[in-house]
């Protein structure tokens, strides 16, 4: 196949070829492990411990409620966005969530709140510190982290794709007409297919950057949760 045909959707900037995903407006390179992983840890926990489709549907519905209720341009797939909300905004969100979803989140995210308490971005879901064994809670947190580290694993792919699809649904990201993006459901129905590989490759590339994230110059607010998460994680024996 002609090399020129393969790279026809790339743009040349000096001697560098810029792939389509990097041609989006207002993007910033971002470290997945340092910054993005802590913000997706809640999805990892939910998808690990519940039926995958149920977890994904509840996650998407929750994000839609947050986006429609607050409508401040934040990307509620990422825990860091909840750090920018005040108590009143969180109360409003909580009132919009059905009781079944609240209990679902409480059951599967209890170990997060156990360690982070009021510092946990989804603290408004909880009304008391859960009574857990530290060792078991720590093992769950380790599993949440370790299962995301390999970005090519099936679990990590589902988490990343769920986050990306939520950005599409809430209109935070738009795919250019010249980019072919298969139905993301393919990662469930045929994870080894070429279409699934195209989906996961596109999603990984997208999450390496932050399209239109409204990051301030020092992006302090966006890094606050990630910094706190890793600081705490390194202190917990055996977590890393």
User: Between these two residues, 39 and 7, which has the higher pLDDT value?
Assistant: 39
Among 208, 182, 205, 203, smallest CA distance to 193 is for 182
Given this model, what pLDDT does residue 11 score? 55
Contacts of 76 by beta carbon, 8 Å cutoff, 6+ apart: 62, 63, 66, 67, 70, 82, 166, 170
Query: Which tens digits make up the pLDDT trace of 51-104?
Result: 999 999 999 999 999 999 998 888 999 999 998 899 999 999 999 999 999 999
* pTM of the model as a whole: 0.84
Whether 165 and 184 have beta carbons less than 8 Å apart is answered as: yes
- State the Cα angle at 109 between 30 and 231, rounded to 5°: 45
Given this model, what pLDDT does residue 29 score? 52
pLDDT band at residue 1 using 50, 70 and 90 as cut-offs: very low
Given this model, what pLDDT does residue 126 score? 97
Say yes or no to pLDDT of 15 above 60: no
Contacts of 61 by beta carbon, 8 Å cutoff, 6+ apart: 101
Say yes or no to pLDDT of 144 above 70: yes
Say yes or no to pLDDT of 218 above 90: no
The rounded mean pLDDT for the chain is 85
pLDDT band at residue 210 using 50, 70 and 90 as cut-offs: low
Burial 21-56 (b: 16+ CB within 10 A, else e): bbebeebeebebeebbbbbbbbbbbbbbebebeebb
Phi, psi angles (nearest 5°) of residue 90? -65, -40
User: Between these two residues, 175 and 106, which has the higher pLDDT value?
Assistant: 106
Given this model, what pLDDT does residue 3 score? 45
pLDDT band at residue 237 using 50, 70 and 90 as cut-offs: low
Percent of the chain scored above 90 by pLDDT? 65
């Amino acid at each position: 196949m002609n090399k020129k045909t393969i790279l026809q959707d790339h743009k040349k900037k000096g001697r560098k070829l810029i792939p389509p995903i990097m041609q989006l407006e207002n993007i910033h390179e971002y470290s997945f492990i340092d910054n993005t992983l802590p913000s997706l840890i809640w999805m990892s926990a939910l998808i690990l411990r519940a039926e995958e489709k149920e977890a994904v549907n509840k996650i998407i519905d929750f994000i839609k409620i947050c986006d429609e209720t607050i409508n401040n341009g934040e990307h509620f797939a990422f825990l860091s966005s909840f750090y920018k909300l005040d108590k009143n905004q969180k109360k409003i969100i909580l009132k919009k969530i059905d009781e079944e979803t609240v209990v679902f989140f409480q059951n599967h995210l209890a170990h997060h709140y156990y360690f982070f308490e009021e510092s946990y971005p989804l603290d408004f879901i909880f009304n008391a510190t859960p009574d857990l064994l530290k060792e078991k809670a720590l093992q769950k947190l380790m599993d949440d982290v370790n299962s995301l580290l390999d970005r090519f694993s099936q679990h990590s792919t589902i988490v990343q794709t769920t986050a990306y699809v939520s950005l599409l649904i809430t209109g935070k990201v738009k795919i250019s007409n010249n980019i072919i993006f298969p139905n993301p459901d393919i990662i469930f129905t045929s994870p080894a297919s070429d279409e699934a590989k195209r989906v996961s490759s596109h999603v990984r590339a997208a999450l390496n950057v932050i399209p239109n994230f409204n990051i301030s110059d020092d992006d302090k607010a966006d890094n606050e949760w990630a910094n706190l998460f890793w600081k705490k994680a390194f202190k917990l024996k055996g977590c890393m």
